Structure 1
Amino acid sequence: MAFGIFFADRNKPLIGVDISSSAVKMLELGVSSDGSRQVERYSVAHLPREAVTDGNLAKPEIVEKAMREAWQALDTRTRTVALALPAATVTAKKLILPQDASEADIETQAISEAHQIVPFPMEEVTLDFQILGPSPRSQNDNEVLVVITRKDRVEERVAVAESAGLKTVIVDVDTYAALRAFGQVSFQLPNEGKGQTVAIVDLGHATTHVNILHDNQPVYQREHPFGGQILTQEISRRFGLPWEEAEDAKCKGLLPDNFEVEVLRPFLDSAAQEVARALQLFFASSPQQHVDHLVLAGGCSLVPGLDEAVYNKTQIATIIANPFAKMSVSSFVRPKQLAVDAPSLFVACGLALRRFDLE
């Protein structure tokens, strides 16, 4: 989804920029000498608490500063970027339209649909659509995904990027970016996930996004108010540390010996319970009553032991996402550190992959 900001030449370099509640993450992908995809460079600039809240840039000047720092750390000449809106800020609807419908016809229908479902004036709205392919119910029709959001949501992010010296050429949606990144992970699953039900659980700092695919097609998505900040809060409370120090100690593993028993294990139990509850909500709203595989992504998936805790609770085969497992790595990137950071770069990877849209 480009929301009217079109990227005409996908051969040009592009930086995927994920603005989460805890950090600005930037990633640039390229092509190696043998023609395979390559991680050129990436960087992470941490954000202070409350700079981004509920998907809103509460303190845009701080986000701008972090974007500048992240871009400078990349050490690149590329300034064109792909950004993402939080899924909670967009409305999506799938339409069934004749295959011979022109783009003008589709746009007219999309605008008509927006009139019916958005609660604010159309001049405050921006929308985009994408033809998904033939409808399984009719050979003469296409499925068309329409995505609608407020203009100010897009303009806010574009303006901050521009202030940081960057040019936005794509505005995507974080959940769609995650689905695109999953394409770099699916090879780890039997038959690459075809004919199976796979849950992608992106555990972030403040929220958890659950995307469920059946036969590699999205069938369900939902956001849950659970994330790594809960662990930070408990570290801060239990050991009497200021928030920033608790977050730093969590990331660096510099915690007292009783951390594992008194704090980590209860958190892992809570996280596993949250994943199990999310799956139950899916089962309650879907004819599918079974999930074959769980893919954990996001910064919170890096918490030691989380994958094992989730498996023990759900009894579903669980892996931690590494979308770079089959990519080569440039000399600017430390492979071991990339392997550690990979799950937290899941959305940034999906955005950076937009460079190859026309392949």
Structure 2
Amino acid sequence: MFFSGWGVKAKPLVGIDIGSSAVKVVSLRRAGNTYHLENLGIEYLPPDCIVDGVIISKLPVADAIARIFKSKAIRNKRIATSISGSSVIVKKIALPSQMEEELEESIQWEAEQYIPFDIGDVNLDYQIVGSTPEGNRLEVILVAAKREKIADQTGVISMAGKVCDVVDIDAFALQNVYEVNYEPQSTTVAALLNIGSSVMNVNILRGREFLFTRDIAMGGNHYNDFLQKELNISFEESENYKRNGAPTPELQRRTLATLASVSEILVLEVQKTLDYFKTTSRLEDIREIYISGGASRTPGFQVCLQEKFQIPVNFLNPFNKIKVNEKVFPPSSIEELASDFSIAVGLALRTTGR
């Protein structure tokens, strides 16, 4: 299910990114080699509706999806969505070249070595992406996800009256956005970092080649948690302070100091991930980082990353090479929302032929 549509001309599907704080929806139209934005919408979810990636209250999520489709008059009911977190395992492995029937058996055996779950509780998929330099082994991306996680995600989509055709992985959706919008050089090693409310997705690529991914169980909610404790304010106030600034100079000083300390914590986790990648690969160093997700625009976060790694840190613009009708979607609105929509755009890109 994860790789459905790879390498084939798929019919357009609507991308739905179900995050801990909001539901994002994107639909695209492809004309030749150009993508056009047809529609997008966002609905924020009640606090604790989704906790640590687990959907606790399904009805509010389904209602949010339905409201977006109704308010934006989106008629296409065929959906692509994605998952991430501790219930998902993505591993790049090398297997001896073999017949397809034998490969299926090898994949099953390899999965049992890498997956810390009961094999009967997961959905498995794989994609052959090439061969080793020696030519005698296949390079394969192995994906496994708990069936319960998939059922929860597809279930709320069904409750909203839609049909989920594809379940993808956040990291792959992020890769789609990068490839289409930035046309990476084949030798450039880049890290893509999507910072959501409760999870950071790290994806490392060499050009268009997938190398490594990891989900970190931290995100924008850490800023809110620390602000609430340090300033004795509500969740709503912490979100407002984070996005728009505090109402007094003294509160703003304390807010920025708290945000800076949390950024250090998040960046340290990113550093651990990148250090692990470096020690387990023989590739050259990462040359650039692209960041996305609502929390990526938290004051000071980009600078903190850049100072830590001493390489360019850029905002990933999911609409960089997508045609946007400015009469329908004002540039100021698109610029403000761009960081929130990378995953949803990546899903919509993939399902229009990717």
TM band (smaller chain) = 0.7 to 0.9
**Are 2:217 and 1:222 equivalent residues in the alignment?**
no
- Given the superposition, is the C-alpha separation of residues 194 and 271 from structure 1 closer, same or farther in structure 2, using an over 3 Å criterion? farther
**Are 2:21 and 1:29 equivalent residues in the alignment?**
no
- The answer for the alignment partner of 1:106 in structure 2 is 103
Look up the SS of the partner of 1:183 in the other structure.
helix
- Given the superposition, is the C-alpha separation of residues 31 and 132 from structure 1 closer, same or farther in structure 2, using an over 3 Å criterion? same
- The answer for the alignment partner of 2:127 in structure 1 is 130
Look up the SS of the partner of 2:124 in the other structure.
strand
Counterpart among 310, 325, 331 of residue 315 in structure 1: 310
- Given the superposition, is the C-alpha separation of residues 235 and 12 from structure 1 closer, same or farther in structure 2, using an over 3 Å criterion? same
Mapped partners of 1:306, 1:73: distance in 2: 34
**How far has the Cα of 1:227 moved from its partner?**
2.0
Q: Is the 8 A contact 2:2 2:169 kept in 1?
A: no
Mapped partners of 1:184, 1:256: distance in 2: 43
Deviations 1:219-271 (A, max 9, x none): 33333343222222344345543213432454455643334421124413531
- Given the superposition, is the C-alpha separation of residues 165 and 332 from structure 1 closer, same or farther in structure 2, using an over 3 Å criterion? farther
- Given the superposition, is the C-alpha separation of residues 44 and 271 from structure 1 closer, same or farther in structure 2, using an over 3 Å criterion? same
- Given the superposition, is the C-alpha separation of residues 5 and 198 from structure 1 closer, same or farther in structure 2, using an over 3 Å criterion? closer
Q: Is the 8 A contact 2:190 2:287 kept in 1?
A: yes
**Are 2:233 and 1:241 equivalent residues in the alignment?**
yes
**How far has the Cα of 1:174 moved from its partner?**
1.0
**Are 2:193 and 1:194 equivalent residues in the alignment?**
no
- Given the superposition, is the C-alpha separation of residues 137 and 168 from structure 1 closer, same or farther in structure 2, using an over 3 Å criterion? same
- Which stretch shifts more, 243-252 or 67-76? 243-252
- The answer for the alignment partner of 1:148 in structure 2 is 144
- The answer for the alignment partner of 1:184 in structure 2 is 180
Deviations 1:304-344 (A, max 9, x none): 34323332343221111102111111354232211221112
The root-mean-square deviation of aligned C-alpha atoms, in Å, is: 2.9
**How far has the Cα of 1:30 moved from its partner?**
1.1
Mapped partners of 1:332, 1:151: distance in 2: 39
**Are 2:302 and 1:303 equivalent residues in the alignment?**
no
Correspondence 1:29-48 to 2 at 5 A: 29-31=28-30, 36-48=34-46
**How far has the Cα of 1:125 moved from its partner?**
2.7
Mapped partners of 2:267, 2:220: distance in 1: 13
Look up the SS of the partner of 2:51 in the other structure.
coil
Mapped partners of 2:35, 2:290: distance in 1: 22
Look up the SS of the partner of 2:286 in the other structure.
coil
Correspondence 1:272-291 to 2 at 5 A: 272=264, 274-284=266-276, 285-286=279-280, 287=282, 290-291=285-286
Mapped partners of 1:216, 1:11: distance in 2: 20
Counterpart among 174, 192, 195 of residue 203 in structure 1: 195
Mapped partners of 1:73, 1:258: distance in 2: 41
TM-score by length of 2: 0.87
**How far has the Cα of 1:35 moved from its partner?**
5.2
**How far has the Cα of 1:97 moved from its partner?**
4.3
Q: Which amino acid is 1:65 matched to?
A: D
Deviations 1:113-156 (A, max 9, x none): 334454655543321111212x1233254322221222222122
**Are 2:160 and 1:164 equivalent residues in the alignment?**
yes
Look up the SS of the partner of 1:30 in the other structure.
strand
Q: Which amino acid is 1:204 matched to?
A: G
Unaligned runs of at least 5 residues, structure 2: none
Q: Is the 8 A contact 2:7 2:353 kept in 1?
A: no
Correspondence 1:241-280 to 2 at 5 A: 241-248=233-240, 250-253=242-245, 255-272=247-264, 274-280=266-272
Q: Is the 8 A contact 2:245 2:252 kept in 1?
A: no
- Which stretch shifts more, 173-182 or 66-75? 66-75
- Given the superposition, is the C-alpha separation of residues 97 and 117 from structure 1 closer, same or farther in structure 2, using an over 3 Å criterion? closer
Q: Which amino acid is 1:329 matched to?
A: V
Q: Which amino acid is 1:19 matched to?
A: I
Give the total of aligned pairs.
350
Q: What is the aligned-residue identity percentage?
A: 25
Q: Is the 8 A contact 2:13 2:352 kept in 1?
A: no
Look up the SS of the partner of 1:337 in the other structure.
helix
Mapped partners of 1:271, 1:154: distance in 2: 31
Q: Which amino acid is 1:214 matched to?
A: R
Mapped partners of 2:303, 2:7: distance in 1: 44
Counterpart among 73, 79, 86 of residue 84 in structure 2: 86
Q: Which amino acid is 2:201 matched to?
A: H
**How far has the Cα of 1:55 moved from its partner?**
1.5
- Given the superposition, is the C-alpha separation of residues 17 and 113 from structure 1 closer, same or farther in structure 2, using an over 3 Å criterion? same
Q: Which amino acid is 2:289 matched to?
A: L
Q: Is the 8 A contact 2:216 2:269 kept in 1?
A: no
Q: Is the 8 A contact 2:29 2:352 kept in 1?
A: no
Look up the SS of the partner of 2:176 in the other structure.
helix
Mapped partners of 2:235, 2:265: distance in 1: 25
Mapped partners of 1:206, 1:154: distance in 2: 18
Deviations 1:91-123 (A, max 9, x none): 233343466633x44333323333445465554
